[in-house]
Amino acid sequence: MVLPLALIAWLNLVNADPMIGDYSRVLVLLPVLYIGYRYGWRGAAVSISLIGLALAPIHIGHWDIPNARATTHMLFALGSMAALLLGAAMDAQRETSEQVSARNRELQDASVALRDAAQRNLRLEEEQRRRIAAEIHDELGQNLTAVHTRVKLAAERLNARQLGDVTTSIYDILATMRRSVRGLMDSLRPPVLDEFGLVRALREGPQHDLVERAGLRHEFDLYGDPALIAALDEATQIAIWRIVQEAATNTVRHARATRFGARLRVGVRGTMALAILDLRDDGIGIADVTAASRSGHGLQGMRDRVLALSGAMRTTSDARGTRLHVLLRQAV
């Protein structure tokens, strides 16, 4: 870059032909092109700035009006400096954008990992529930049956000794224990869910008995093809069941309601099967839904179960009652 500048200065001193001077100025673009190719736009902008600053003070003499040429070179230098600043800002913005994109990818990967972990935990929980329910049925249930059989065999002897009231009390205790065991098994893994499917479990299952024993009116409506429900994977069906079960329990315990309604709508949109669950009661409502989620009302557990399946859940509550709206999606 020094050689073209020296040539221009020498041509100015010897008063060479203006056309020769104009051609010589083109020579300064050669190092600019080289520097730009070698070091990128930063090097090119810096070299153009230096050339403009170096040419500005040179008195051009007979080639043209000196002030006009000097002004042109100064504008050339200022333009290159502006390009340098603009390029630096664009590079900084691009770098920031790349960092943000990288962080978003990390957050997305972390979200996927957390969702996978939550799904694994749900599967392990259900497997544990199923195993415990089976053990209760096989061990405790059979033992209760054996005790009932022994008491029945001993009933004649007890009645002969006028101890029939002992037999009656034992039968009452066994009946209470059977109901407790049945309720525990229903909460762990209701047999109706495995034997008759989700729709019948929601319509006639343990939560139906729970609501009606509490004196509430139980309502269940299904919209859509029942075959779609059978096509849902086990995790989605269990999530629907658990959410309805928890909501019914909350209604009975806290809502002071007169009815509990569940509405399940299933359908297909594109390549996704949609299950929309709407639960509502006419109770006193929840004063603070956020606080209730943290105070053991089961809302946070339901929300975690929904998020683990990449679903969505919305809770609204006022003096007219509480409503839960759940959306679950599954590829078909």
Can you give the pLDDT of all 332 residues of the chain as single tens digits? 556 556 555 655 555 555 555 555 556 656 665 666 566 666 666 666 666 655 555 544 444 444 555 555 556 666 666 666 666 677 778 888 889 988 988 888 888 888 788 778 877 877 887 788 778 877 787 888 888 788 787 777 777 776 667 777 888 888 888 888 877 777 777 777 878 888 888 988 888 888 998 999 999 999 998 888 888 888 899 899 989 989 998 899 888 999 999 999 999 988 889 999 999 999 998 876 666 655 555 788 888 889 888 899 999 988 889 999 999 998 87
Assess whether 246 and 121 both reside in one domain: no
**All residues at 6 or more sequence positions from 323 whose CB lies less than 8 Å from its CB, including other chains:** 278, 279, 280, 315, 316, 317
Of 134, 151, 183, which one is at a domain's C-terminal end? 183
Of 160, 183, 206, which one is at a domain's C-terminal end? 183
**All residues at 6 or more sequence positions from 145 whose CB lies less than 8 Å from its CB, including other chains:** none
Assess whether 155 and 216 both reside in one domain: no
Assess whether 205 and 316 both reside in one domain: yes
Assess whether 80 and 160 both reside in one domain: no
| 35: in domain | yes
Assess whether 291 and 253 both reside in one domain: yes
pLDDT at 13: 52
Assess whether 255 and 319 both reside in one domain: yes
pLDDT at 60: 45
| 105: in domain | no
Assess whether 206 and 173 both reside in one domain: no
* Residue 127 burial class via C-beta count within 10 angstroms: exposed 0-12, middle 13-18, buried 19 and up: exposed
Angle at 261 between CA 256 and CA 265, to 5 degrees: 155
pLDDT at 266: 93
| 219: in domain | yes
Q: How far apart are CA 302 and CA 300, in angstroms?
A: 5
pLDDT at 276: 94
- How many domains are contained in the chain? 3
pLDDT at 257: 92
Assess whether 44 and 130 both reside in one domain: no
| 157: in domain | yes
| 223: in domain | yes
What is the dihedral angle through the alpha carbons of 267, 315, 260, 233, rounded to the nearest 10 degrees? 40
What are the angstrom distances between the C-alpha of 36 and each of 31, 47, 48, 49? Answer: 8, 9, 10, 13
Assess whether 165 and 52 both reside in one domain: no
Q: How far apart are CA 332 and CA 322, in angstroms?
A: 32
| 129: in domain | yes
Assess whether 233 and 175 both reside in one domain: no
Largest CA distance in the chain: 145
CB 246 within 8 A of CB 285: no
| 40: in domain | yes
| Rg value, the chain, Cα | 41
CB 167 within 8 A of CB 158: yes
Which structure tokens are listed for 106? Answer: 């990390």
Q: Give the neighbor-by-neighbor strand order of the sheet with 321-331.
A: 217-223, 259-269, 272-281, 321-331, 312-318
Tokens 């999530």 found at: 239
Would you say how long the chain is, in residues?
332
Assess whether 48 and 164 both reside in one domain: no
Assess whether 172 and 215 both reside in one domain: no
CB 252 within 8 A of CB 281: no
pLDDT at 280: 94
| 103: in domain | no
Q: Find the domain containing 160 and state its range.
A: 115-183
